[in-house]
Structure 1
Amino acid sequence: MESVFSRFDSYNFEADERFADGLKTLNCREQTELLKLKLFFYNRFVEPIDQQSYKQWISLSCNNQQDQTAQSDPDSNETEMSADGETKQLSFAEVMQLVQEGREVPGVTKPDVQPSNQSPTPSQMQRVQKPWETTPS
């Protein structure tokens, strides 16, 4: 059953036109509603999946991730390195967890934006005339 949940997690809903079209008509904004819609769609069009079992599985996997994070250095903001030396790509859930905890997301640069406190420069271009302002030729 775990492999079904893993396939569900890795399913590319954004690339599925049927899901995207249906989502446009529903105008769903909440994450819990979106998860219910994804589970319904996946169950109907891809393969059977039990919603309650999936929710239990995801909560267990989140708890395991939190335990692993707590065991590692909590102040470390570095990306994990895999065995071949490449940086590990974080999942959406991992990024959300970092944001909720107030920690920095690895690999994201923070731009140093400071106000210039200068007056804006005047425009060098002529204003385009509106159709009713043009003179007939």
Structure 2
Amino acid sequence: MPKQILVVCVGNICRSPMAEALLGSLLDPAYGVSSAGIGALVGDPAHPMAVQLMQEQGLDISTHRGRQLDESLLQAADIVLPMEQQHARWIEERWPHARGRVFRFGHWDDTDIPDPYKRDEQVFRDVLELITTAAASWKQQLDRL
């Protein structure tokens, strides 16, 4: 059974922190869920709208800080969940040994999750809905293992 899940987006301040919090809240505590970015805003806090939306869900990501995806994070992960197919390709091109462990976060719904960065509140809410659906799908699949 995979235990370490790494969620990946670009800046690691919008999508992946929300997905990390939501997926982590759904899964058995035996799972470790973390996040990183392929072009991370290292050290930056989660976007204020992401923090607000997570607070509305009863989840606190206010202490989150962006971090860059690197070899050590990738090695520690049993499953890597990038937000978009292009992120999956980027990861697999740089770290071919990751193939077979990289699946889009929206894999089960066959969808990319678009970046809400510098967009309005409604876009963030739409993205949160996609993340919520995808997280529930991952929970369902992981519960079968």
Normalising by structure 2, we get a TM-score of 0.23
Normalising by structure 1, we get a TM-score of 0.24
Structure with larger Rg? 1
Q: Select the structure with the greater relative contact order (CA < 8 A; seq sep ≥ 6).
A: 2
Q: Which has the higher strand share?
A: 2
